[in-house]
Amino acid sequence: MDFSLTQEQEALKESVRDFLRKESTSEKVRVVAFGESGFDRSLWESAVGLGWTSLVVPEEFGGIGLGWVEAAIVAEQIGMHLFPSPYYSSVFATAAILAAGDDEQKKVNLSRVVEGAIATVALWEDRSFHASSINMKVRKSNGGFVLDGTKLFVTDGEVADLVVVAAAAGDAVPASDDPSGRVALFVVESSNPGLSVQSLPVVDKTRRMSVLEFDGVEVPESAHLNAVDPSSLGPLQPRPVDVMRDRACLYIAGEQTGIAARCLEMSLEYAKQRNQFGKPIGSYQAVSHKLADMFVWVEHARSLLYHAAWCADHDPAMAPTAAWEAKVIATQAAERATADGIQIHGGIGFTWEHDLHMYFKRARANSVLVDENRLLLDVLSKHRHG
């Protein structure tokens, strides 16, 4: 079996890499990240023009109709260059709409995402996402619904045009995810009256987070994503909310793999150039062993990443486990590579001004998106051992 990328996928990788090398230099990243909004509209429009937001959207809904392997390619390159954009948020929202929306909802909402509308997902009401923790109230009113509650840790909430919101379903509001009737999903316009956004202090300024307050936010009935009948799903069939989580894990694994790979590149280059006692520091075992370990971690993470992406496209039953494994290992790779990279760079590596610290912060911030690695490890253990 040939596990290499196809010619078309290699071309996509080169296109993304060339764009980011030019438009996402460390100098430009710092300017955007430490700006008022942490967002550059022109950069985002350029990425949209290259078709990034179209990759996993089927052609009938205005997309290119490729797959999650292509999305993983983009994610890895974004991680390598720390592209400050709402791409993660839009991919997460796209996965939600694809998983839970009917054809009309997909056509209306995904065509906007393809054209550049920024979408995000508002799920969390505490530190980790589980259906049991969702308490946002929703009630029927005037042929539609009214939402009340607070959502935490919403990525790119300040610049989003569309928000996929999870609320607690009830007798009058069908669930979108499972037979227990816990979660109902809605697509909400950010301009709706009653919806307010407050920025949160973040470690990683290349990805902003917000608190969203819903105070009597009215949405039409068409905003309710309920194309999937939960009672029709078998015990092994994925629920929309689970699919959303798995795709988000897959994307984050891509970024983390890219972060680890870039830190390996930076550390290797520095180890070749920095001399100590008359020879490059890379010739010393204390450094060369760290570099070798980093290489193994990167290759391990990359292998799991593209296996998970392939499963997302071709093996739905295996996709959840593959995505969780990819996220856990890629996060460990990114955390090891950033920490060891700082050590290899010595005194200059410990200065806040060095680029390694931006990668260090992104790796740590990514580790707690969707689910903490500790929680994912617990889920994986239970999944494997029954």
Is pLDDT of 198 > 70? yes
* Average pLDDT across the chain, whole number: 89
Which SS3 state, helix, strand or coil, does residue 303 take? helix
Q: Give pLDDT tens digits for 143-172.
A: 899 999 999 999 999 999 999 999 987 655
Is pLDDT of 179 > 50? no
In one-letter notation, the amino acid at residue 296 is V
The tokens describing 68, both together, are 């999650």
- pLDDT interval class at 369 (50, 70, 90): confident
Mean pLDDT value across residues 347-364? 90
Which SS3 state, helix, strand or coil, does residue 386 take? coil
Q: Which domains are delineated in the chain? A: 7-117 (1.10.540.10), 120-231 (2.40.110.10), 240-385 (1.20.140.10)
- pLDDT interval class at 384 (50, 70, 90): low
Is the full-model pTM beyond 0.75? yes
Mean pLDDT value across residues 363-384? 69
Phi, psi of 152 (to 5 degrees): -105, 160
User: Please, which residues have CB within 8 angstroms of residue 46's CB and are 6 or more apart in sequence?
Assistant: 19, 23
Mean pLDDT value across residues 253-270? 97
Task: Catalogue the E-assigned strands of the chain.
Answer: 119-122, 137-141, 144-155, 162-168, 183-189, 195-199, 209-220, 224-225, 275-276, 279-280
Alpha carbon distance 19, 78 (integer Å): 10
Q: What's residue 247's pLDDT? A: 95
Report yes or no: 203 and 365 within 8 Å, Cβ to Cβ: yes
For 63, other C-beta atoms within 10 Å of its C-beta total: 21
Q: What's residue 222's pLDDT? A: 93
In one-letter notation, the amino acid at residue 374 is R
Q: Give pLDDT tens digits for 14-32.
A: 999 999 999 999 999 999 9
Question: What residue has token string 């300040």?
Answer: 158
Q: Give one word for 379, left, alpha or beta, with left for phi > 0 and alpha for psi -120 to 50.
A: alpha
- pLDDT interval class at 228 (50, 70, 90): low
Q: Give pLDDT tens digits for 313-328.
A: 999 889 999 999 999 9
